[in-house]
């Protein structure tokens, strides 16, 4: 293609040359990726935190009932098996573990008591979805993004 005017040289194609070293090798297994290793370390930290709270069960320093912690460990294992982001842990009232996630304007919370689970999804400070007192054996993880 020719350009007209003062400079009538033909247009030349543009091409790029790689000047750096070759890219790093791709991990054979996605489990070896840095993000998965980071998620695994967070899951281990949450598991350890729940384990420490469980050790306090039955003592005068008990923070949360043992049954709620055992149920939370079951839910945590299910989250991990489904490759979901690890939650932050909170607790209230001595009988519930709360697993929390935040993403943009959305907040996800799963409240766990002895053998039961409830959840709330809020977006822009409005409740989008919730469910109360679902038996942990009937609890199914649903992607609500």
The span from the CA of 113 to the CA of 70, in Å, is: 9
Per-residue pLDDT at 49: 94
Per-residue pLDDT at 138: 62
What is the separation of C-alpha 1 from the centre of its chain, rounded to a whole number of angstroms?
A: 53
Tell me if 79 sits within 8 A of 90, measured CB to CB.
Answer: no
> Among residues 140, 94, 101, which one has the least CA distance to residue 120?
101
Contacts of 78 (CB under 8 A, 6+ apart): 139, 141
Per-residue pLDDT at 2: 47
Quickly count: other Cβ atoms within 10 Å of residue 107's Cβ.
17
Per-residue pLDDT at 55: 92
User: pLDDT of the chain along its 145 residues, tens only?
Assistant: 444 455 555 544 554 444 555 555 554 456 667 888 888 999 999 999 999 999 998 888 888 999 999 999 999 998 888 888 889 999 877 889 999 988 888 888 889 999 888 888 888 888 888 887 776 666 555 544 4
Q: Which residue has the tokens 């469910």?
A: 131
The span from the CA of 91 to the CA of 101, in Å, is: 14
The span from the CA of 79 to the CA of 100, in Å, is: 12
Q: Which tokens sit at 63? A: 């923070």
The span from the CA of 7 to the CA of 129, in Å, is: 65
């Amino acid at each position: 293609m020719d350009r007209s005017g003062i400079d009538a040289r033909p247009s030349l194609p543009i091409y790029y040359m790689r000047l750096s070293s070759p890219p790093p090798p791709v991990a054979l297994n996605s489990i070896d990726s840095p993000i998965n290793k980071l998620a695994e370390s967070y899951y281990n930290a949450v598991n350890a935190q729940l384990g420490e709270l469980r050790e306090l069960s039955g003592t005068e320093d008990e923070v949360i009932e043992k049954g709620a912690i055992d149920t939370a460990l079951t839910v945590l294992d299910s989250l991990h098996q489904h490759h979901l982001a690890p939650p932050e842990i909170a607790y209230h009232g001595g009988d519930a573990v709360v697993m929390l996630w935040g993403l943009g304007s959305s907040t996800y919370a799963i409240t766990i008591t002895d053998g039961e689970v409830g959840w709330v999804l809020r977006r822009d400070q409005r409740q989008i979805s919730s469910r109360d007192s679902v038996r942990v054996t009937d609890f199914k993880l649903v992607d609500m993004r």
